[in-house]
């Protein structure tokens, strides 16, 4: 956003978004079971670490992942409106904008209602089914929030409608479901899968409706300044290269870990590799192997770019 004139208005929000992203990543990375020795476990006094038992379970991880999605989407909205100034009233965009928003809201509400009805018809024991009711209630509340956002947008209060829908979604999908996830895990673990889908459905409905509102909200808005293309700090280019290395390395290692779980089985539990040379490499060994593959891969990519550069030079001289 530093290359967009007018984006400095939203710069203070960036540090808060980064804090939220760091917190979400930390919770997502927190393990549930720590590799503790008997002495360490006796020192703690329980099976799980007092910190990881709250942040290392799926209820917490689902909540922060959805918060991460909302935070990333919020940064996307800031980027879209970085060089936009005063907006035009929603009513000035004509009937096409109204029809588009009504169709979007209608389809979103239909999906949420369909899933809520599906939850009501789930065949579960009565002592477990009672824990599904709060999920249905949250879906209904989200439908109401979406309809209210639609009416607020029609009343030329689109920004307030976006904030309202964001807040309602965050309260339900992150805060409430974080708490209720622990309740479900303790008393009705089978409901956790439905809770996860409900969380995602609520968040996605917020993203879809807010995106359509934002498109028309800043349509034909006055531009504060243009985008300065070609200006990028050197550190960002190094970060992109480092990200490329990290992604390729991660893909290689995770591919091995997934395959290595089979150990010496072609098909685990059915077809075992009984050959004399059958073995599973260690993660350290594969780390060095994957690193070598990454170096060779990036070297080949650099070689291709070098060849392309030679072709450009020949064209210039010609």
Locate 68 and state its tokens.
């991460």
**Which segments of the chain have a pLDDT < 70?**
1-3, 6, 32-38, 40-41, 44-53, 225-231, 261-263, 266, 268, 311-312, 314-318
Residue 40: predicted pLDDT: 67
DSSP for 127-171 reads HHHTTTHHHHHHHHHHHHHHHHHHHHHHTT-HHHHHHHHHHHHHI
Residue 52: predicted pLDDT: 66
Residue 91: predicted pLDDT: 83
Residue 164: predicted pLDDT: 94
Q: How far apart are CA 198 and CA 202, in angstroms?
A: 6
Question: Mind listing the pLDDT tens digit for each residue in 101-129?
Answer: 999 999 999 999 999 999 888 877 888 88
Axis crossing angle, helix 11-29 with helix 58-80, rounded to the nearest 10: 160
Closest CA to 218 of 153, 146, 167: 153
Residue 50: predicted pLDDT: 65
Closest CA to 142 of 117, 163, 173, 119: 173
Residue 210: predicted pLDDT: 92
Mean pLDDT of the chain: 83
Q: pTM, whole model, 2 decimals?
A: 0.72
| Contact residues for 78 (Cβ-Cβ < 8 A; gap 6+) | 1, 7, 10, 13
Q: How far apart are CA 173 and CA 75, in angstroms?
A: 19
| Contact residues for 41 (Cβ-Cβ < 8 A; gap 6+) | 47
Residue 265: predicted pLDDT: 72
Every domain of the chain and the residues it spans? 7-217, 234-317
Instruction: Name the strand (E) or helix (H) holding 108.
Output: helix 94-120
């Amino acid at each position: 956003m530093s290359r967009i004139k007018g984006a400095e208005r939203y710069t203070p929000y960036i540090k808060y978004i980064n804090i939220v992203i760091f917190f979400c990543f930390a919770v997502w990375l927190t393990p549930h079971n720590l590799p503790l020795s008997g002495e360490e476990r006796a020192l703690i006094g329980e099976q799980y670490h007092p910190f990881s038992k709250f942040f290392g379970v799926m209820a917490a991880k689902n909540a922060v992942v959805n918060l991460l999605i909302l935070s990333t989407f919020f940064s996307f909205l800031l980027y879209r409106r970085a060089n936009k100034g005063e907006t035009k009233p929603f009513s000035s965009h004509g009937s096409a904008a109204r029809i588009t928003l009504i169709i979007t809201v209608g389809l979103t509400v239909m999906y949420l209602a369909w899933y809520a009805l599906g939850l009501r018809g789930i065949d579960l024991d009565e002592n477990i089914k009672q824990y599904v009711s709060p999920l249905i209630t949250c879906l209904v509340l989200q439908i109401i929030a979406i309809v209210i956002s639609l009416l607020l947008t029609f009343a030329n209060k689109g920004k307030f409608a976006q904030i309202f829908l964001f807040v309602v979604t965050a309260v339900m999908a992150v805060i409430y479901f974080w708490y209720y996830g622990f309740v479900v895990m303790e008393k009705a673990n089978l409901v956790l899968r439905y809770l996860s889908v409900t969380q995602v459905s609520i968040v996605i409905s917020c993203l879809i409706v807010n995106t359509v509102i934002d498109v028309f909200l800043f349509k034909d808005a006055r531009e504060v300044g243009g985008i300065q293309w070609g200006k990028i700090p050197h550190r960002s280019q190094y970060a992109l290269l480092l990200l490329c290395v990290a992604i390729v390395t991660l893909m290689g290692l995770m591919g091995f870990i997934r395959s290595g779980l089979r150990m010496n089985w072609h098909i685990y539990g059915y077809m075992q590799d009984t050959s004399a040379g059958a073995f599973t490499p260690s993660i350290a060994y594969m780390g060095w192997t994957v690193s070598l593959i990454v170096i060779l891969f990036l070297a080949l990519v650099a070689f291709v770019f070098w060849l392309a550069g030679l072709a450009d030079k020949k064209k210039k001289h010609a």
